[in-house]
Structure 1
Amino acid sequence: MAPIPRLRTYRGPALLSYGFRPFFLFGSLYAGLAVLAWLPMFYGELALSTAFAPRDWHIHEMLYGYLSAVITGFLLTAVPNWTGRMPLQGRPLLVLVLVWAAGRIAVTLSAWIGWELAALIDNAFLLLVAAAVAREIMKGRNWRNLKVLIAVATLVAGNVVFHLEAHVLGAADYGVRIGIAAVLALIMLIGGRILPSFTRNWLARENPGRMPAPFGPFDVASLIAAGAALVAWIVVPSGVLTGAALMAAGLLQAVRLARWAGDRTWRDRLVLILHVAYAFVPLGFVLTGLAALRLLPSGAGIHAWTGGAMGVMTLAVMSRASLGHTGRALVASASTQVLYALAVAAALARVCAAVHPAWNDALLHVAGGAWAAAFVGFAIAYWAVFTRPRLSA
Structure 2
Amino acid sequence: MQKTMAKDERVPRGMSRSGLVLFSYGFRPFFLASALWAIVSIDLWAAFLSFGIPVATEYGTLYWHAHEMIFGFAPAILAGFLLTAIPNWTGRLPIAGRPLAMLFAVWCAGRIAMLLSSSSGVMPAVAVDSLFLPAMLVLCTREVVAGKKWKDLKVIAGLVVLSIANVLFHVQVVAGQSPELPIRLGLGAYVLLVTIVGGRILPSFTRNWLNQFGRTEFPVPYNHYDAASIIMGAVALAAWAIAPEALITGLCAAIAAAMNGIRLYRWRGWNVWPEPILFVLHGAYLFVPIGFAAVALGTLGMPQVAVLHVFAIGAISLMMLAVMTRATRGHTGRKVKSSRLTNYSYVILAAVALLRPSAELIPSFSSEILMASAIGWTVAFCMFAHEHAPFLCRERKPLVSR
Mapping 1:1-393, distance limit 5 Å: 5-6=12-13, 9-43=16-50, 45-206=52-213, 208-294=215-301, 296-387=302-393, 388-391=395-398, 392-393=400-401
1:195 touches 1:275 (CA, 8 Å); kept in 2? Answer: yes
Is residue 239–residue 293 contact of structure 1 (8 Å, CA) maintained in 2?
no
* Greater mean deviation of Cα atoms: 107-116 or 249-258: 107-116
- Which amino acid in structure 2 is aligned with residue 101 of structure 1? C
TM-score normalised by the chain length of structure 2: 0.94
Q: Partners of 2:277 and 2:32 in 1: how far apart?
A: 19
Cα deviation 1:12-40 (Å, max 9, x = unaligned) = 11111000000000101101121111112
Structure 1 Cα separation of the partners of residues 320 and 397 of structure 2: 22
Q: Deviations over 1:224-245 (max 9, x none)?
A: 1111111111111112111111
5+ residue gaps, structure 2:
1-10
Secondary structure of the 2:130 match is: helix
Provide the C-alpha distance between the structure 1 equivalents of 2:271 and 2:357, rounded to a whole number of angstroms.
27
RMSD: 1.5
Shift of 1:51: 3.1
- Retained in 2: the 8 A contact 1:50–1:107? no
The alpha-carbon deviation at position 359 of structure 1 amounts to 2.4
Question: TM-score, with normalisation over the residues of structure 1?
Answer: 0.96
Identity %: 38
Q: Output one character per residue of 1:317-368: Cα deviation in whole Å (capped at 9) or x when no partner.
A: 0000000001001111111111111111111110222322222222211111
Q: 1:293 & 1:191 partners in 2: Cα distance?
A: 29
Higher mean alpha-carbon deviation, 377-386 vs 37-46, is at: 37-46
Shifted more, 243-252 versus 143-152: the winner is: 243-252
Q: Give distance in 1, aligned partners of 2:371 and 2:252.
A: 33
CA distance in 1, matches of 2:26, 2:122: 29
* Separation (CA, whole Å) in 2 of partners of 1:276 and 1:50: 37
Q: Structure 1 residue 9: deviation in Å?
A: 4.7
8 Å CA contact 1:19, 1:76 repeated in 2: yes
Residues 158-194 of structure 1 show CA distances to partners (whole Å, capped at 9, x for unaligned) of: 0000000111134211110111011111111001100
Moved over 6 A (4+): none
Distance 1:40 1:7, change over 3 A: closer
Q: Secondary structure at the match of 1:382?
A: helix
Tell me the amino acid that sits aligned with residue 238 of structure 1: E
CA contact (8 A) 2:280 2:322 kept: yes
